[in-house]
């Protein structure tokens, strides 16, 4: 079985640069229940990923199930946060920008729309 | 809001109470303590010896602070003046209330003072739409505080209530056994904190402390008006100063502090329903306020850029490059029962975003901002052509992706019946309203300038200019109604011209899309008796099938609408007409103590003699508060030209002399002076006598 969480961060590391984050500089730490922590540094769109557990400008924590649902576009990060299922400490503006690293619409947008209208 | 309630607010945190300071809300009334679109208190009742006090007076000179002067209720109409009760309330992260009772007798008194407290935690959408809750409310007494809470799965909201004086706490409130010496006093602080479990900061205290009106340290709130020194206005007509001051105070009050940009503020839309981020309202208000300060505009652009659409999401009407319509924080949004996280259902906001970006640079010379937002601006331009123009006909039209909870009309006139034919039938979706085409034209022309001067992309500049010129040419053909000599309100889904005469044609002047030889006819309609009520231009002309003087977007007069029309009139050289609209609006403001409401009724001025407030209008409303500012710009003829500010006044005679000192911008600060020479009362007289003539014909 493919580990969605690991695969996401591996792909992020390969990506190297994300133009949608061209004006973003900061560090993120994801603490994912039952999966561990990942550290993502963004420097004007350039991405580096590691397993360091050092402090970050913005720390995000949620369950593995919820994280994987975000990764495949079945869960909106903003509403997950609003429901209290994702904890964010530190810079909320940065946290919001991380959404842009989740997969693009064309893969799932319509399916997500359908799901949410049910 | 009615006269029987009083509102105090800070950001998206507000309290609506009765004149005693009490809250006793039914589920569908907008009374209570609200924060983040949730009601944190639905009941807050003060009794002294079991009686609710009578009100002597209420003072709300500051938008976040109110004082209630009360005397004990006797159950009769007679006032017992032996005791005074004073409540002082400051709003922010909940509120802080100082409750003081003075004993005027020369004997001691024993009193039972009680505060009843309850919270229903309804989402503002539930108040509006009369829905019922899905989670559970609870009450908990901790050592020194009462906790009122609500839980739905992991969604938690709590109201924390503490008192500084000795109190007995039960699940429904706080009781005080009070002894006051002769001519003595008793006081307690009551602190009510609106807590967002797990959502960012969980505030443990309200913004304001005991006894003073200064914000506690490390709080972003301050008493300055718009965060910077605003120009000073003096005028022979004193009402203008009242309106000017009211506008600045209300805009300061309506500042919304987004969680994502700490310490920065942008305009929220209006009290009580719209204390949140709206793309359209924030952009328009920022534009109106630019001659008086640019901070709101810069924050608005940055926050909207951060949340620019990046994907296709049917539920949220999101598309890549699209600028958001509305963001909400309540329970229904959290659980995706409403799409406002954020919702992108607006077709005009993306070009307006580009217009504001250019306008900020024109006023401030902030080239860095324009370079920083280059990618977002390009994405917005791409949205216009790729997603805004859904059918490839060269016009931006809208239809919602979210058919259940999405908005049917995605222009500023967003009520269901706003886009209708002259015979009163509703047009079909998708709709391409005329003013959006004007905004697109203006946005492309402005971005051409930015591309040439700041993005180092002359090819893009040339392309945008070419597209804009072509759009203007086609628009003047396709939207023009030969027989009626004005522009159609929209082209609808069947390709038909929606032929009602509406205020939208005034926005076309503002954007510059109207060919010169058609401007005169457009102005004639705007100033004619069917559109111009005497106070301002109606949203829809008298005589159209859908016209209703108290219909939200089909006959009422909207101050912000008129401020843009006045700018449009100036753009095409109709100085006296701009002055007439400005004077009508400024005179109307005097009937609202300087605070123009969102909308007022479209009755002819000579019929009512005073402007009749629209029954459910929001007040204060940001773009109505911004309207006098843009009207001032229009009549003073303030226009940035390079590094200079052009001043070219055409003032109503009634205003006499005006001085606007220290107007900030890329020129530093400059002053504008003018003397009123346009005789708007003569214009009004001839308008009325002209009407008489028409009627006898």
Q: What is the pLDDT of residue B3?
A: 53
Nearest residue to B404 (alpha-carbon basis) of B356, B337, B487, B335:
B337
Domains of chain B: 5-196 (2.70.98.40), 232-696 (1.50.10.10)
Q: Which residue of A has its CA nearest to B155?
A: A83
CA–CA dist B56, B78 (Å, integer) = 12
CA–CA dist B125, B127 (Å, integer) = 5
Say what the pTM is.
0.91
Task: Inform me whether the pLDDT recorded for A113 exceeds 60.
Answer: no
Chain B residues within an 8 Å CB radius of A98: none
Task: Inform me whether the pLDDT recorded for B396 exceeds 90.
Answer: yes
Q: What is the pLDDT of residue B288?
A: 98
Q: What is the mean pLDDT of residues B427-435?
A: 97
How high is the mean pLDDT of chain B? Answer: 91
CA–CA dist B426, B284 (Å, integer) = 27
Q: Give strand pairing partners of B152.
A: B155
Residues with Cβ within 8 Å of B628's Cβ and at least 6 positions away in sequence, in order, are: B240, B243, B244, B247, B559, B563, B585, B586, B589, B596
Q: What is the DSSP letter of B384?
A: I
Q: Is the confidence metric ipTM above 0.85 for this complex?
A: yes
Helix (H, G, I), strand (E, B) or coil at B36: coil
> Residue B616's pLDDT band (boundaries 50, 70, 90)?
low
Q: Which two tokens stand for residue B643?
A: 């590094």
Residue B242: how many other CB atoms lie within 10 Å: 16
The secondary element (H helix, E strand) that includes residue B86 is: strand B83-91
- CATH of residue A93: 3.30.1050.10
- Contact call for B333 and A82, based on CB within 8 A: yes
Q: What is the pLDDT of residue B133?
A: 81
Which residue in the set A78, A88, A104 is minimally distant from B341, CB to CB? A78
CA–CA dist B398, B388 (Å, integer) = 7
Q: What is the DSSP letter of B388?
A: I
Q: What is the pLDDT of residue B503?
A: 98
Q: What is the pLDDT of residue A40?
A: 96
Q: What count of CB pairs under 8 Å joins A to B? A: 84
Q: Which two tokens stand for residue B113?
A: 């003072």
Q: What is the DSSP string of B592-631?
A: TTT---S-B----HHHHSSPPBPTT--SSBHHHHHHHHHH
Q: How many domains does one find in chain A?
A: 1
Chain A residues within an 8 Å CB radius of B307: 96
- Contact call for A84 and B260, based on CB within 8 A: no
CA–CA dist A109, B315 (Å, integer) = 9
Residues with Cβ within 8 Å of A53's Cβ and at least 6 positions away in sequence, in order, are: A29, A37, A39
Strand order in B43-48's β-sheet? B23-24, B43-48, B109-118, B173-180, B168-170
CA–CA dist B332, B316 (Å, integer) = 14
Task: Report how far apart, in Å, the C-alpha atoms of B335 and of each of A83, B339, B374 are.
Answer: 7, 9, 34
- Contact call for B320 and A105, based on CB within 8 A: yes
> Residue B255's pLDDT band (boundaries 50, 70, 90)?
confident
- Contact call for B314 and A110, based on CB within 8 A: yes
CA–CA dist B356, B283 (Å, integer) = 7
Burial of B261 (0-12, 13-18, 19+ CB in 10 A): middle
pLDDT tens, position by position, B279-330: 999 999 999 999 999 999 999 999 999 999 999 999 999 999 999 999 999 9
CB B454 within 8 A of CB B361: yes
Nearest residue to A108 (alpha-carbon basis) of A77, A81, A70, A78:
A70
Q: What is the pLDDT of residue B692?
A: 42
The fraction of chain B above a pLDDT of 70, given in percent, is 92
pLDDT tens, position by position, B496-543: 999 999 999 999 999 999 999 999 999 999 999 999 999 999 999 999
Q: Which two tokens stand for residue B40?
A: 């944190």
Helix (H, G, I), strand (E, B) or coil at B230: coil
Nearest residue to B37 (alpha-carbon basis) of B119, B121, B120, B124:
B124
- Contact call for B404 and A85, based on CB within 8 A: no
Domain that holds residue A74: 4-117
pLDDT tens, position by position, B179-234: 999 999 999 999 999 987 655 444 566 666 665 444 443 333 443 545 568 899 99
Q: What is the pLDDT of residue B385?
A: 97
CB B611 within 8 A of CB B620: no
Helix (H, G, I), strand (E, B) or coil at A67: helix
Chain A residues within an 8 Å CB radius of B151: none
Q: What is the DSSP string of B465-526?
A: HHHHHHHHHHHHHHSEETTTTEE-SEE-TTS-EE---BTHHHHHHHHT-S-HHHHHHHHHHH
Which residue in the set A82, A92, A105 is minimally distant from B329, CB to CB? A82
- Contact call for A83 and B307, based on CB within 8 A: no
Q: Give strand pairing partners of B190.
A: B97, B163
- Contact call for B155 and A92, based on CB within 8 A: no
- Contact call for A83 and B402, based on CB within 8 A: no
Instruction: State how far residue A18 is from chain B, nearest Cα, in angstroms.
Output: 12
Is B368 an interface residue toward A (CB < 8 Å)? no
């Amino acid at each position: 079985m493919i580990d969605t969480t690991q695969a996401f961060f591996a792909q992020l590391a390969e990506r190297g640069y994300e133009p949608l984050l061209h004006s973003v500089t900061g560090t993120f730490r994801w603490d994912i229940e039952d999966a561990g922590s990942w550290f993502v540094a963004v420097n004007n769109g350039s991405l580096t990923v590691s397993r360091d557990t050092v402090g970050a400008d913005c720390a995000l924590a949620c369950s593995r199930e919820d994280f994987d649902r975000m990764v495949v576009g079945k869960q909106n990060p903003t509403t997950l946060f609003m429901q209290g299922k994702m904890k964010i400490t530190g810079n909320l503006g940065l946290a919001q920008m991380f959404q842009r690293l989740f997969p693009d619409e064309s893969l799932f947008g319509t399916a997500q729309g359908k799901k949410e209208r049910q | 809001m009615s006269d029987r309630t009083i509102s105090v607010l800070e950001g998206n945190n507000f309290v609506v109470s009765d004149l005693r300071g009490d809250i006793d809300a039914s589920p569908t009334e907008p009374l209570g303590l609200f924060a983040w679109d949730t009601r944190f208190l639905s009941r807050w009742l003060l009794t002294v010896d079991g009686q609710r006090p009578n009100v002597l007076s209420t003072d709300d000179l500051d938008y976040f602070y109110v004082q209630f002067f009360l005397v004990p209720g006797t159950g009769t109409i007679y006032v017992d003046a032996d005791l005074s009760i004073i409540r002082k309330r400051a709003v922010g992260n909940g509120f802080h209330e100082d409750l003081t009772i003075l004993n005027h007798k020369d004997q001691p008194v024993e009193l039972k003072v009680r505060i009843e407290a309850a919270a229903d935690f309804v989402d503002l959408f539930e108040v509006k739409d009369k829905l019922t809750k899905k989670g559970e409310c609870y009450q908990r007494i901790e050592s020194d505080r009462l906790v009122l809470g609500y839980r739905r799965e992991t969604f938690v909201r709590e109201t924390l209530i503490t008192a500084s004086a000795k109190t007995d706490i039960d699940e429904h409130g706080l009781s005080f056994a009070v002894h006051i010496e002769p001519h003595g006093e008793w006081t307690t602080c009551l602190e009510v904190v609106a807590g967002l479990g797990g959502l960012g900061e969980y505030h443990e205290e309200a913004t304001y402390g005991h006894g003073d009106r200064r914000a506690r340290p490390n709080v972003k709130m301050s008493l300055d008006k718009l965060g910077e020194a605003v120009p000073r206005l003096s005028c022979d007509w004193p009402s203008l100063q009242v309106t000017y001051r009211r506008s600045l105070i209300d805009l300061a009050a309506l500042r919304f502090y987004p969680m994502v940009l700490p310490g920065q503020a942008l305009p929220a839309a209006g009290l009580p329903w719209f204390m949140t981020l709206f793309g359209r309202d924030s952009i328009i208000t920022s534009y109106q306020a630019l001659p008086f300060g640019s901070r709101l505009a810069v924050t608005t652009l940055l926050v909207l850029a951060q949340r620019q659409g990046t994907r296709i999401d049917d539920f949220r009407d999101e598309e890549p490059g699209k600028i958001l319509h509305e963001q909400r924080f309540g329970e229904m949004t959290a659980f995706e029962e409403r799409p406002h996280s954020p919702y992108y259902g607006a077709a005009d906001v993306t070009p307006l975003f580009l217009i504001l970006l250019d306008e900020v640079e024109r006023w401030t010379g902030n080239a860095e901002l324009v370079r920083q937002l280059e990618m977002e601006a390009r994405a917005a331009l791409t949205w216009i052509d790729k997603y805004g123009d859904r059918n490839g006909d060269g016009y931006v039209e809208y239809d919602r992706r979210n058919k259940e909870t999405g908005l049917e009309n995605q222009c500023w006139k967003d009520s269901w019946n706003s886009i209708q034919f002259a015979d009163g039938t509703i047009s079909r979706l998708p709709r391409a309203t005329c003013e959006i085409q004007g905004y697109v034209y203006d946005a492309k022309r402005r971005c051409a300038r930015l591309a040439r001067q700041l993005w180092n992309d002359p090819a893009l500049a040339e392309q945008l200019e070419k597209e804009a010129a072509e759009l203007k040419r086609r628009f003047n053909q396709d939207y023009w109604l030969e027989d009626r000599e004005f522009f159609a309100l929209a082209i609808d889904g069947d390709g038909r011209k929606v032929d009602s005469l509406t205020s939208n044609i005034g926005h076309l002047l503002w954007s510059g899309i109207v060919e010169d030889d058609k401007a005169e006819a457009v102005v004639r309609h705007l100033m004619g008796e069917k559109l111009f009520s005497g106070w301002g231009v109606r949203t829809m002309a008298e005589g159209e099938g859908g016209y209703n003087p108290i219909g939200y977007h089909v006959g009422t007069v909207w101050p912000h609408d008129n401020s843009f029309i006045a700018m449009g009139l100036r753009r095409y050289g109709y100085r006296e007409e701009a002055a007439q609209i400005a004077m009508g609006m400024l005179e109307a403001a005097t009937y609202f103590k300087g605070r123009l409401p969102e909308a007022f009724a479209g009755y002819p001025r000579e019929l009512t003699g005073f402007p009749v407030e629209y029954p459910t209008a929001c007040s204060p409303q940001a773009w109505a508060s911004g309207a006098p500012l843009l009207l001032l710009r229009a009549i003073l003829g303030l226009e940035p030209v390079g590094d200079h500010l052009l001043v070219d006044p055409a003032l109503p005679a009634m205003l006499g002399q005006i001085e606007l000192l220290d107007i900030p911008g890329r020129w530093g600060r400059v002053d504008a002076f003018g003397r009123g020479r346009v005789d708007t009362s003569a214009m009004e007289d001839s308008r009325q006598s002209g009407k008489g003539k028409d009627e006898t014909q």
